[in-house]
Amino acid sequence: MQISPSILSADFANLEHELDAIRSADWAHVDVMDNHFVPNLTLGLPVVEALLKVSPVPIDCHLMIENPDRWAPPYAEAGAKSVTFHVEAANDPVTLAREIRAQGARASMALKPGTPWEPYAELLPEVDMVLVMTVEPGFGGQAFMADMMPKVAAVRESVRRHGGEVWIQVDGGVSASTIEQCADAGADVFVAGSAVYGADDAAANIARLRDLVRGHTHP
């Protein structure tokens, strides 16, 4: 059970300090948005390269961008330990996942709420993680979509059948009141933005979220 705070909810003027505040987390989740695939613009490769130099935890890049086939591998090459692309935007997800892995990063595929899981289940051998979005991608602070839990459960069942170790990540509205639903459905990596950065003590918030899912295991 891993906690991956999203710096989308952090103070962008003090990102080195904000990363230091989450040194007890498993990952730092960095949302890259291009104002094309989603209607928001955040940060890109130069900022990620700067974050990689100072982050006390590995960086998990979630690329909400068009043409990830071209733009995703450089994030892995720069040193991000996990790179997530959206299946809706990838032209050749198999080749893309292999290129990300070849750079030494974990390859992950993400699905928007309206994207069904079944057409992409065959990609499981090529990826290390599946991200099930529990909000519409583009903005932080949205309400958690509990109706995505059956999709999380379906991914977990596919992973069981497939074998191997593929993580299942949830992102969007994950908080102390929703994280156990996600764990029960089959998630084991939890992206939390405002639930970590929204109060004074980020480390205490991380510890609280971790305590809530401790003991939840998935075969």
Coil vs helix vs strand at 41 = strand
- Domain holding 106, by residue range, is 2-213
Amino acid 154: pLDDT: 97
Assigned domain for 182 exists: yes
pTM: 0.95
Question: Is the Cβ–Cβ distance between 30 and 59 less than 8 Å?
Answer: yes
Higher pLDDT, 12 or 98: 98
**Does 199 score more than 90 pLDDT?**
no
* Annotated catalytic residue, options 26, 60, 128, 171: 171
Total of domains in the chain: 1
128 is catalytic: no
Assigned domain for 218 exists: no
If we measure between CA atoms, which residue out of 205, 188, 213 comes closest to residue 9? 205
- The token duo for 15 is 């990102």
**Mean pLDDT value across residues 19-48:** 92
Amino acid 178: pLDDT: 95
31 is catalytic: yes
Assigned domain for 190 exists: yes
How far apart CA 55 and CA 82 sit, in angstroms, is 14
Terminal-to-terminal C-alpha distance of the chain: 13
Task: State the average pLDDT for the chain.
Answer: 93
If we measure between CA atoms, which residue out of 54, 58, 56 comes closest to residue 16? 54
Query: pLDDT exceeding 90 applies to what percent of the chain?
Result: 83
How far apart CA 30 and CA 103 sit, in angstroms, is 18
Amino acid letter, 102: A
Amino acid 91: pLDDT: 97
How far apart CA 3 and CA 28 sit, in angstroms, is 9
Amino acid 219: pLDDT: 59
pLDDT digit string (tens) for 37-88?
A: 888 888 899 999 999 999 999 999 999 999 999 999 999 999 999 999 999 9
The CATH number of the domain holding residue 34 is 3.20.20.70
Assigned domain for 219 exists: no
- Give the single-character DSSP code of 164: S
Assigned domain for 111 exists: yes
* Annotated catalytic residue, options 31, 34, 60, 128: 31
- For the chain, state the CA radius of gyration: 16
Question: Is the Cβ–Cβ distance between 190 and 3 less than 8 Å?
Answer: yes
If we measure between CA atoms, which residue out of 100, 218, 115, 216 comes closest to residue 158? 218
How far apart CA 131 and CA 31 sit, in angstroms, is 13
DSSP element (H, E) containing 203:
helix 202-213
